[in-house]
Amino acid sequence: MDIQSIKNRFGIIGNSPALNYALQVASQVAGTDLTVLIVGESGVGKEIFSQIIHALSPRKHNPFIAVNCGAIPEGTIDSELFGHEKGSFTGALDARKGYFETVNGGTIFMDEIGEMPLGTQARLLRVLENAEFIRVGSSKVQKTDVRVIAATNKDLLGATQNNKFREDLYYRLNTVPIRVPALRERKEDIILLFRKFAVDFAERYKTSPVQLSDEAKQMLIDYPWPGNVRELKNSAEQISVLSEEKIISAETLSRFLPKQTAPQLSMVVAGGNAVSQHEFMTERDILYKLFFDLKKDVTEMKKMFLEIVQNPANLNSMNKLVQDEYIHNVPLVQSTSDTIHAGSMLAASPTQPVLLSHGNDLDPSIVVDESLNIMDKERELIEKALRKHKGKRKDAASDLGISERTLYRKLKEYDIED
């Protein structure tokens, strides 16, 4: 059967090369008894591929059953799949046939195979290799003739490395892999699918179908669709029901599409600790943190100089301590008998120097003339980073904890020449 005939028969909409290739593989493998592993994100329509394979196979007149491995409790999944004997566990009042017994001669579709417990995986492997199983609570080996089609939205190969999925079972299931593309990889099909869902809904409820403006179409195409076809169908039905307009504008459509959020990335701050984006959501938050750290350093410096003023004998040892702490960032200015000029010790801010009188009491002429304007501080930090890295924007941006693109925008905003 050709690809277009398969699409017509099973109601598949779309012409993307990735979708057509997946359908081609499904039609070619259908006539065999090979095990198939269907891989794809949630909502892409993996189950329809299992139905296509069964319908085009010699088993088409025999039973077909779909089992969601993630929805069956771990304590009962063995009984569901392989059956049990009377009294084999609490509540087993009668003997029961499992799916591999009742679907003998047919096809079993095992969705979310990655959620299957390791013990059950060993039992399934025996079925795939020897076509035999044992009921729970029995010692009698039974034969079965069932074709297995599995599906997953997880990285099973990665799960094998974490000992969460049996490696031998993975390679046994992955005899013929079929990858169903995500909707964001089928952008040319999004408008076709939306139109199909809107028409189906209109026919069901005897209304006229909604239509999209050009801007709304582009918005629909640009949206990432994490829920794939299932999410698109739900959105089409919501718009059909709730919109008072039949021509959907971009503004109207935006009310039905979830707001896109940035991925939760991690960044590394001082000390090498990974900090999630929940803690630092914007570059301004980063700058605020730098300012608070700077204020803390300045406070420590003030205490240090106060001790120098009150205890002149400790001046040499204090200078040694300051040099060890700040030698890479803060050049010390040579002190005189009357005053110590410490303006350069405010490492991140070229403000007026702090003047401390040499005596027992703190002179009222102490000057701490700092600008508290956030934009001024931001500009100063950017200029300092550029000087530190000799105009290399990439290194400066990394030091500031912002992207190179953001740094370029700030350079233009503050008219900074690097």
Gyration radius of the chain's alpha carbons: 34
Q: Which CATH class is domain 3-181?
A: alpha beta
- Predicted confidence band at 399 (pLDDT cuts at 50, 70, 90)? confident
- Predicted confidence band at 333 (pLDDT cuts at 50, 70, 90)? very low
The confidence score (pLDDT) of residue 314 equals 55
pLDDT digits (tens, 9 = 90+) for 37-80: 999 999 999 999 999 999 999 999 999 999 999 999 988 999 99
The confidence score (pLDDT) of residue 358 equals 44
Of 236, 368, 261, the closest CA to residue 305 belongs to: 368
State the residue for tokens 């566990």.
Answer: 89
The confidence score (pLDDT) of residue 408 equals 78
The confidence score (pLDDT) of residue 406 equals 81
Q: Extract the tokens encoding 301.
A: 């410096």
The confidence score (pLDDT) of residue 291 equals 59
The confidence score (pLDDT) of residue 290 equals 61
pLDDT over 90 at 153, yes or no: yes
Q: Please state the rounded mean pLDDT for residues 320-329.
A: 49
Q: What are the extents of the domains in the chain?
A: 3-181, 184-254, 374-414
Task: Name which residue leads in pLDDT, 416 or 180.
Answer: 180
Task: Name which residue leads in pLDDT, 20 or 345.
Answer: 20
The confidence score (pLDDT) of residue 229 equals 95
213-221: Cβ within 8 A, 24+ apart: 213/247, 213/248, 213/249, 213/250, 215/249, 215/250, 216/248, 216/249, 216/250, 216/252, 216/253, 217/191, 218/250, 219/250, 219/253, 219/254, 219/257, 220/190, 220/191, 220/194, 220/253, 221/187, 221/190, 221/191
pLDDT over 80 at 367, yes or no: no
Q: Extract the tokens encoding 269.
A: 């701050």
Q: Extract the tokens encoding 101.
A: 């017994």
Coil, helix or strand at residue 147: strand
pLDDT digits (tens, 9 = 90+) for 210-223: 999 999 999 999 99
Partners of 65 in beta bridges? 108
The confidence score (pLDDT) of residue 286 equals 54
Within 10 A of 322 (CB to CB), how many other CB atoms are there? Answer: 18
> What percentage of the chain has pLDDT greater than the value 90?
54
Handedness of CA 157, 162, 167, 173 (dihedral sign): negative
Task: Name which residue leads in pLDDT, 357 or 26.
Answer: 26
Which CATH architecture describes the domain 374-414?
Answer: Orthogonal Bundle (1.10)
Which CATH architecture describes the domain 184-254?
Answer: Orthogonal Bundle (1.10)
Coil, helix or strand at residue 267: strand
pLDDT digits (tens, 9 = 90+) for 170-187: 999 999 999 999 999 999
Of 156, 186, 166, 171, the closest CA to residue 43 belongs to: 186
Contact 202, 208 (CB under 8 A): yes
- Predicted confidence band at 140 (pLDDT cuts at 50, 70, 90)? very high
